[in-house]
Chain A
Amino acid sequence: QSALTQPASLSGSPGQSLTISCTGTSSDIGSSYLVSWYQQYPGKAPKLIIYGGSQRPSGVSDRFSGSRSGNTASLTISGLQPEDEADYYCCSYPGRLTWIFGGGTRLAVL
């Protein structure tokens, strides 16, 4: 299966809200709510920030929220902070014992 489509890069100002999209097909995101999002700093391991489409793990800021509509999942970061500057990846589990990642979005906080 092909990777999910994310914008390669986005930028925002501190305090702003920003949404990262993740587009798949009716065979993955469109048919399963099991979308997760990961934050990765350079040289570090990824960190889970959203699972089950919209659930936050314990300890993750409530400035991060997830949603899904049709074949597109979205990660919204509200009140952007400098420490949000990182790479973000979406991932879909379409239910066939395989997982599909998006290509990643590099977020700059200017």
Chain B
Amino acid sequence: EVQLAESGGGLVQPGGSLRLSCVPSGFTFGGASMHWVRQAPSKGLEWVARIWSDGTSISYADSVRGRFTISRDNARNVLFLQMDSLRAEDTGVYYCARDSDYAFADWGQGSLVSVSS
């Protein structure tokens, strides 16, 4: 059974930083592209970033490009999202997801990020 466990969320002031982690199990992490998807309170889903299985290809949504960095450590089986220069509009639940056929096949339970002074 595929499982994804996010951690690292919390309350941060505007302009601050947080690093989210996602630990996978139940599949070969090094063979899967991975994503971060977020959801603002009572709002819809928004794709944030994606990283290729070997980390050689990365893409971001316009809303986070230049502020967020997706990375992975296949040796340690962990996916990261470094979030800098955080804004109030970055508040929400952040999900990591496994890619399959360009869809989000499996999701974690989410990690809540709150940006407020």
Residues of B at the A interface (CB closer than 8 Å) are 35, 37, 44-47, 50, 57, 59, 61, 95, 100-110
Contact = CB atoms under 8 A, between A and B. Distances in A.
20 contacts: A34-B103, A36-B102, A36-B103, A45-B109, A45-B110, A46-B104, A48-B106, A51-B100, A51-B105, A89-B44, A89-B45, A91-B103, A98-B59, A98-B61, A100-B47, A101-B44, A101-B46, A101-B47, A102-B44, A104-B44
Contact of A45 (B44, B61, B102, B107): B107
Interface size class of A (residues with CB under 8 A): 20 to 34
Interface in A50-89: 51-52, 55, 57, 89
Contact of B50 (A55, A97, A102, A103): A97
